[in-house]
A and B are shown apart, each in its own frame.
Chain A
Amino acid sequence: MATVSETSSAAARPPVDVARAFKDAAFAALVMLGLSIPILSFRSEQNMNNQLVLAERWDAVAIACALVFVARLAGAWLWRERVGAARSKPLTMPAFMKPLAGPAGLALVVVYPMLMLAINGPQGSIKWIDNFGIQILIYVMLGWGLNIVVGLAGLLDLGYVAFYAVGAYSYAIIATKVIPATYPDLGVWAFWICLPISGLLAALWGIILGFPVLRLRGDYLAIVTLAFGEIIRLVLINWVEFSNGYAGISTIPRPSFFGIPFNASDKGFAAVFGLEFSPIYRTIFLFYVILILALMTAWVTLRLRRLPVGRAWEALREDEIACRSLGINTTTTKLTAFSIGAMFGGFAGCFFAARQGFISPESFVFLESAQILAIVVLGGMGSLFGVVVSSILLVGGIEILRELDFLKSIFGPGFDPTQYRMLLFGLAMVLMMLWKPRGLISSREPSVIHKESRSISGSLVKEGHG
């Protein structure tokens, strides 16, 4: 182990202590053997009488131990040059690329649906625009929203999905119950009416939940927000009259093209614009809606960062006590961060309900909160660009596992790659933290400049206490 961890620079590669490397690898394999018994070595299965019976799988144990042995041994050679060098160096772009990266990336996203359409045709591209494009953009938006709370204000929120749920249920209930009962004519406009309402309701809930808990610090705040997230989900499950419980709410109206519905009727989008009807138009439209919502989140965040409130958030993350000594009301400052973050979660939730057409409490489990938080922390706290990169890696990575059907031909037809999705997701979270504990982009850009802008190294930036 020492041969690996004590290397300090890339230049000086110490020779590998072969005997020691083998000893370490043997030890690791032995530990793996211990871990495999009995979890891997026996599989419990129900027989015809619904009784559990054991099946032995020593071959799997042998494979696992051999893999660990080889990986540990290979690690002794490979890590030697990586450790130290890779850790100390943050990811940076060449200077000339910096001003170009934003517009170029944006342009790529804007033409993405057209590109897919051109490559895959209207039928084949729905999957690419919906599962990859829209799905990733939803998480980018959620990540940017949570980034205000966690990345800027340094408040650890493990229940962000609660606000996503508030937004989604606001839209679902208003659009399926309130509007048909009061102003049925407004049905086609439901999404556009409910979008601001969802955001405001989520922000309101942010204030209601935030007010009592924001004086808590650190991990305590994280756990209370987790508890609130779970409470909201459990209430949605149990309060059947309100939310229809586990069954969820279906037939939620889909967004219209500013009053023109996407259907096959004479007044539908395709007919009005003289196109042949295809579901792809709605998908493309949804893609641009979420893109604009996400860009609005980013724009507001960038604006707020340069305003006193945004600077107060970052100051709060750096040192709460100093903030109080400078006349900053830390409670209201935290509340603004919490509620503005919640508002964007609400917008995203409204969009989610409209895109799915069906929601149930299953969509708002703790795992979602964990995933959004992982996106923010992995991206690098406070970095908008980092959130995009980590969303593509994590969400795109999960989605792509659905596509790996060819693996069945390697591992046999019983092999289902989607089964391993969350397993790999958890593993990725651990590995990426080990690789970059401060996230992909840890440096911070100053919010105001006297003469020249210099990035601030991530090692100076604090992570907040609450």
Chain B
Amino acid sequence: MEVFVQQLINGLTLGSIYGLIAIGYTMVFGIIGMVNFAHGDVFMVGGFVALLFFMVMTSWLGLGLVPALLIVLVLGMIITGLWNWTIERVAYRPLRGSFRLAPLISAIGMSILLSNLIQVVQGPRNKPVPPMFTDVLPLFEKNGYTVGIGYKQIVIMIVTAVMLAIFWYVVQKTSLGRAQRACEQDQKMAALLGINVDRTISLTFVMGAAMAAVAGVMYIMYYGVVNFSDGFVPGVKAFTAAVLGGIGSLPGAVIGGLLIGLIETMWSAYFSIDYKDVAAFSLLAITLVFLPTGLFGRPEVEKV
């Protein structure tokens, strides 16, 4: 029981990060039907942007931890958004509407390009940051085992919740969100009704990247380290989350992310830590085979 509650807390924290990345996959898939293979690496770039800004804020400008993190969050979202905007503009837009495999290959190329670019400009070693919010808030004690929630876990969950609320507002209540939903349904018709489809798609990439940047900040806060190769596995897991929730569904992505986080921590705690990635990948395969529309996806009727 104690272990279970502790792992529940850890799982939800990890799941928040996956959920934030999953939003980028699900939005892009929803609007242009493409798996943005490079999204995991965009998240990694977001992590590096956060790391570097954080160092500028703390060691150069001498800001306190909280103001530094807030500024890093905002700057990270902007810069990572610009990265994804450029990627879409350069590598995906010219291929829109052409051969179906071309954007996928281009995205895989972009993924290889991004991780190796970071390796070249920032070096191949792990980048550690000083630990922050190290205190733990004890919740209850049973059988000599203290269940606690770390301050950084609280911060991660609160920031995730706030970001999701803002994001939810943008998608549901603003004209940009309306334009996105219109483009999802029918791009030609949306264009005829005066929606700037190119701009809407670009903004979708920017928003997805901004969420990935938030995830990047949370990631270095949680693990205290980032590496150029950290994009792939969280990327695939976040994609699993998006699929599990039903690709194209935003609440699905978040809930899928939380589920993946929980499954990963529970698996590590109760079974074998070595096979935790195998568990995540197997879950992906099982979901796609038995529940291809995910938990919240729309069923697809085959048109004959």
Asked if the two chains touch in their complex, CB atoms less than 8 Å apart, one says yes
In contact, A35 and B125 (Cβ under 8 angstroms)? no
Q: A39-B122, A220-B288, A377-B105 are in contact. Are A437 and B98 (CB under 8 A)?
A: yes
The B257-291 residues at the A interface (CB cut-off 8 A) are: 274-275, 277-278, 281-282, 284-285, 288-289
**Interface flag for A425 (CB, 8 Å):** yes
The B101-120 residues at the A interface (CB cut-off 8 A) are: 101-106, 108-114, 116-120
Within the assembled complex, what's the spacing in Å between the Cα atoms of A366 and B79?
28
Within the assembled complex, what's the spacing in Å between the Cα atoms of A228 and B122?
32
In contact, A422 and B112 (Cβ under 8 angstroms)? yes
Contacts of B131 in A (CB 8 A): none
In contact, B282 and A227 (Cβ under 8 angstroms)? yes
The B165-199 residues at the A interface (CB cut-off 8 A) are: none
Q: A43-B122, A52-B127, A238-B274 are in contact. Are A438 and B102 (CB under 8 A)?
A: yes
- How many residues of chain B are within 8 Å of chain A by beta carbon? 68
Of A111-119, A331-339, A426-434, the one contacting chain B is A426-434
**Interface flag for A271 (CB, 8 Å):** no
- A-B pairs with CB below 8 Å: how many? 178
**Interface flag for B43 (CB, 8 Å):** no
**Interface flag for B292 (CB, 8 Å):** yes
In contact, B55 and A42 (Cβ under 8 angstroms)? yes
In contact, A367 and B112 (Cβ under 8 angstroms)? yes
Contacts of A437 in B (CB 8 A): 95, 98-99, 102
The B85-139 residues at the A interface (CB cut-off 8 A) are: 86, 90-91, 94-95, 98-106, 108-114, 116-123, 125, 127-130
In contact, B110 and A426 (Cβ under 8 angstroms)? yes
Q: A235-B278, A437-B98, A437-B99 are in contact. Are A213 and B285 (CB under 8 A)?
A: yes
Contacts of A219 in B (CB 8 A): 29, 34-35, 104
Residue of A nearest to B100 (CB): A463
In contact, A42 and B129 (Cβ under 8 angstroms)? no
**Interface flag for A54 (CB, 8 Å):** yes
Q: How far is the CB of B230 from chain A (nearest CB, A)?
A: 14
Within the assembled complex, what's the spacing in Å between the Cα atoms of A419 and B121?
11
In contact, B49 and A39 (Cβ under 8 angstroms)? yes
In contact, A35 and B82 (Cβ under 8 angstroms)? yes
In contact, B99 and A429 (Cβ under 8 angstroms)? no
In contact, A377 and B82 (Cβ under 8 angstroms)? no
The A47-68 residues at the B interface (CB cut-off 8 A) are: 50-54
Q: How far is the CB of B185 from chain A (nearest CB, A)?
A: 19
In contact, B108 and A373 (Cβ under 8 angstroms)? yes
Within the assembled complex, what's the spacing in Å between the Cα atoms of A463 and B107?
17
Q: How far is the CB of B37 from chain A (nearest CB, A)?
A: 9
In contact, A429 and B285 (Cβ under 8 angstroms)? no
Contacts of B91 in A (CB 8 A): 430, 433-434
Within the assembled complex, what's the spacing in Å between the Cα atoms of A89 and B90?
22
Chain A window 210-228, contacts with chain B (Cβ cutoff 8 Å), 1 for yes, 0 for no:
0011001011101110111
Residue of A nearest to B128 (CB): A52
Interface centre among B53, B100, B118, B122 (most CB of A within 10 A): B100
In contact, B109 and A430 (Cβ under 8 angstroms)? yes
In contact, A426 and B60 (Cβ under 8 angstroms)? no
Contacts of A423 in B (CB 8 A): 112-113, 116-117, 119-120
Contacts of B282 in A (CB 8 A): 227, 231
Q: How far is the CB of B285 from chain A (nearest CB, A)?
A: 5
**Interface flag for B205 (CB, 8 Å):** no
Chain A window 383-413, contacts with chain B (Cβ cutoff 8 Å), 1 for yes, 0 for no:
0000000000000000000000000000000
**Interface flag for A34 (CB, 8 Å):** yes
In contact, B278 and A419 (Cβ under 8 angstroms)? no
In contact, A238 and B278 (Cβ under 8 angstroms)? yes
Within the assembled complex, what's the spacing in Å between the Cα atoms of A213 and B288?
8
Within the assembled complex, what's the spacing in Å between the Cα atoms of A370 and B277?
20
Q: A42-B55, A231-B282, A377-B102 are in contact. Are A426 and B289 (CB under 8 A)?
A: no
Query: Which of A31, A46, A227 is the one whose CB lies under 8 Å from B125?
Result: A46
Q: How far is the CB of A50 from chain B (nearest CB, A)?
A: 7
In contact, A213 and B289 (Cβ under 8 angstroms)? yes
Within the assembled complex, what's the spacing in Å between the Cα atoms of A6 and B10?
53
In contact, A54 and B55 (Cβ under 8 angstroms)? yes
Within the assembled complex, what's the spacing in Å between the Cα atoms of A463 and B90?
23
**Interface flag for A124 (CB, 8 Å):** no
Chain A window 16-52, contacts with chain B (Cβ cutoff 8 Å), 1 for yes, 0 for no:
0000000000000001001101111011111000111
Contacts of A426 in B (CB 8 A): 109-114, 116
In contact, A433 and B106 (Cβ under 8 angstroms)? yes
**Interface flag for B296 (CB, 8 Å):** no
In contact, B83 and A35 (Cβ under 8 angstroms)? yes
In contact, A54 and B52 (Cβ under 8 angstroms)? yes
Q: How far is the CB of A207 from chain B (nearest CB, A)?
A: 15
In contact, A224 and B112 (Cβ under 8 angstroms)? no
**Interface flag for A230 (CB, 8 Å):** yes
Interface centre among B48, B130, B274, B304 (most CB of A within 10 A): B274
In contact, B52 and A463 (Cβ under 8 angstroms)? no
Within the assembled complex, what's the spacing in Å between the Cα atoms of A40 and B52?
10
**Interface flag for A106 (CB, 8 Å):** no
Q: A234-B278, A426-B109, A427-B109 are in contact. Are A40 and B121 (CB under 8 A)?
A: yes
Q: How far is the CB of A153 from chain B (nearest CB, A)?
A: 13
Within the assembled complex, what's the spacing in Å between the Cα atoms of A234 and B282?
11
**Interface flag for B59 (CB, 8 Å):** yes
In the A-B complex, list the 3 residue pairs whose CB atoms are closest, starting with the nearest. Answer: A429-B109, A426-B113, A426-B112
- A sample of 23 inter-chain contacts (CB < 8 A) reads A34-B79, A40-B121, A42-B55, A43-B121, A44-B51, A44-B55, A51-B128, A52-B51, A52-B127, A53-B59, A54-B56, A216-B288, A219-B35, A224-B285, A234-B277, A238-B278, A370-B108, A377-B101, A378-B105, A423-B116, A429-B109, A433-B103, A437-B98
